[in-house]
Amino acid sequence: MNLEVPKKFSMLVEQAHQVAANVFRPISRKYDKGEHDYPKELDMLASLLDGMNEGGENAAGAVSATGNPSGGSDGIVKNGSNMSTALGAMELCWGDAGFMLALPRQGLGNAAIGAVANEEQLKRFQGIWAAMAITEPGTGSDSAAIRTTAVKDGDDYILNGEKIFVTSGQRADAVVVWATLDKNVGRAAIKSFVVEHGTPGMEIARLEHKLGIKSSDTAAINFIDCRVPAANLLGSPEVDVQKGFAGVMQTFDNTRPLVAAMAVGVSKAALDLTRELLKDHLSKDYATLPINASYIEATLDRLEADWEASRLLTLKAAWMADNRQPNSKEASIAKAKAGRVCNEITLKCVELCGSVGYSEVELLEKWSRDSKILDIFEGTQQIQQLIVARRVLGKSSSELK
């Protein structure tokens, strides 16, 4: 594995960094204070990125509806959309994680479409901005306990249920809703449906007030006899008990490296700013033995080592996806490591910078608040460790709970 950024993505990384520095950072505090205000500055940016993407390059490295692994079975090592997505996310979140989530047409639901949609659906939903609705009241991290139902009625499905914590749930063009076709069958009956805003029976119940990522809207959505075309069921409508939950879990294999990359970006932002604020107290010589280093120097060196580990784990998970290698374990390892490290780094940087870190003079305190969600959504720390344990020990979900 080549640990350097692929040359073909160097321009993408630079462009994403410029967006983070010159678009995201200057308005970051404004929309942190103005929760639920729509960041209209992102509309023009999204239009620019669309034009660049039409030219053949995923300019922001964001999730696209055609984000299937681009590698093949021909034995050629490839770096494709998963790698570009991870690299772009790292740079954009160096600016502001909430804005990356709020970028039009770059929702987590697009990753679900890319993971399980058929060819016809990929074409039909190309360019759509899709949020993803998984979590329900009482289900917590157990996605298999979903109670939202989808009942076949002619050429449609009728959805009933409540979804909470839907990122971009109000602003997106559509929501990818996870629902069960048959509660008695269990997780094998859970399917994903694309429900466009404006569909009768779909209503926004409320917008959540949150600790961080306030520039990104987080909605609770009710589905009451919501009629959805059967053609909007992603992938196969067949319930395969043998395959179980595997089809749906492919979505997480795509999105967990993305969330890990977001955490890597936020962590890097905190480390960079802390080193800048404390530069008069730091030695420029990395060769200094730990026993001779100051507490600040030794702490930052340790945090940087953890950051580098999380970054490499994230790139490995993305690289495996691009080369069609099963990456469920690696995706969870990357998500668990990067999420935990991001929490630790941002809080420690606030501590090291004292009153400057705790105040709103700098963005450090904001990043510490933003970081918490990166350890929660797409599966908590505990869920990731459970998945890794199952993969390592060769146990099923029923054998190891």
Q: Which residue has the tokens 């990125």?
A: 49
Q: What is the pLDDT of residue 285?
A: 72
Give residue 299's domain range: 246-393
Last residue of a domain, one of 67, 102, 124: 124
Q: What is the pLDDT of residue 11?
A: 93
Of the candidates 119, 126, 120, 45, the residue with the CA atom closest to the CA atom of residue 88: 45
- CA 289 to each of CA 41, 120, 285: distance values in angstroms, whole numbers, following the listed order: 47, 59, 10
Identify whether residues 112 and 22 lie together within a single domain.
Answer: yes
Task: Label residues 342-378 b or e (16+ Cβ within 10 Å = b).
Answer: bbbbbbbbbebbeebbeeeebbbbbbbbbbbbbbebb
Query: Hey, what are 160's tokens?
Result: 């009933």
Identify whether residues 376 and 325 lie together within a single domain.
Answer: yes
- The CATH number for 188's domain is 2.40.110.10
Q: Is residue 267 part of a domain?
A: yes
Residues whose CB is less than 8 angstroms from the CB of residue 323 and which lie 6 or more positions away in sequence, other chains included = 69, 71, 77, 78
Of the candidates 24, 22, 18, 23, the residue with the CA atom closest to the CA atom of residue 366: 24
Beta-strand pair 156-167/218-229? antiparallel
Helices (H), ranges, 157-222: none
Q: Is residue 401 part of a domain?
A: no
Of the candidates 341, 358, 332, the residue with the CA atom closest to the CA atom of residue 306: 341
Identify whether residues 280 and 172 lie together within a single domain.
Answer: no
Give per-residue pLDDT as tens, 283-294.
777 777 778 889
The residue type of 90 is M
Give per-residue pLDDT as tens, 104-153.
877 888 888 888 899 999 999 998 999 999 999 988 777 778 999 999 99
Q: Which of 91, 297, 365, 378 does the annotation list as catalytic?
A: 378
Residues whose CB is less than 8 angstroms from the CB of residue 332 and which lie 6 or more positions away in sequence, other chains included = 256, 379, 384, 385, 387, 388, 391
Neighbours of 47 (CB within 10 A): 12
Q: Which residue has the tokens 């069921």?
A: 233
Q: What is the pLDDT of residue 38?
A: 92
Last residue of a domain, one of 69, 90, 124: 124
Active site residue 162: no
- The CATH number for 15's domain is 1.10.540.10
Identify whether residues 290 and 372 lie together within a single domain.
Answer: yes
Identify whether residues 135 and 120 lie together within a single domain.
Answer: no
Q: How far apart are CA 392 and CA 333, in angstroms?
A: 11
∠ Cα 318 48 177 (to 5°): 55
Query: Hey, what are 265's tokens?
Result: 């970006």
Of the candidates 249, 136, 244, the residue with the CA atom closest to the CA atom of residue 185: 244
Look at the alpha carbons of 106, 112, 117, 121 in this order and tell me if their dihedral is positive or negative: negative
Q: Is residue 384 part of a domain?
A: yes
Q: Is residue 172 part of a domain?
A: yes
Identify whether residues 157 and 276 lie together within a single domain.
Answer: no
Identify whether residues 373 and 261 lie together within a single domain.
Answer: yes
Identify whether residues 111 and 151 lie together within a single domain.
Answer: no
Identify whether residues 250 and 358 lie together within a single domain.
Answer: yes
Our count of domains for the chain comes to: 3
Identify whether residues 254 and 204 lie together within a single domain.
Answer: no
Give yes or no for a contact between 20 and 91, defined as CB atoms under 8 angstroms apart.
yes
Beta-strand pair 149-153/156-167? antiparallel
- CA 163 to each of CA 107, 147, 201, 224: distance values in angstroms, whole numbers, following the listed order: 16, 10, 13, 11
Q: How far apart are CA 214 and CA 67, in angstroms?
A: 27
- The CATH number for 328's domain is 1.20.140.10
Q: What is the pTM assigned to this prediction?
A: 0.91
Identify whether residues 110 and 194 lie together within a single domain.
Answer: no
Q: What is the pLDDT of residue 70?
A: 45
Q: What torsion do the CA atoms of 138, 141, 144, 148 make, to the nearest 10 degrees? A: 40
Residues whose CB is less than 8 angstroms from the CB of residue 104 and which lie 6 or more positions away in sequence, other chains included = 42, 43, 46, 129, 171
Which ranges of the chain have pLDDT less than 50?
Answer: 55-71
For the chain, the residue count is 401
From the number of C-beta atoms within 10 Å of its C-beta (0-12, 13-18, 19+), residue 125 rates as buried
DSSP E strand stretches across 168-207 = 174-180, 190-196, 202-207
Identify whether residues 88 and 120 lie together within a single domain.
Answer: yes
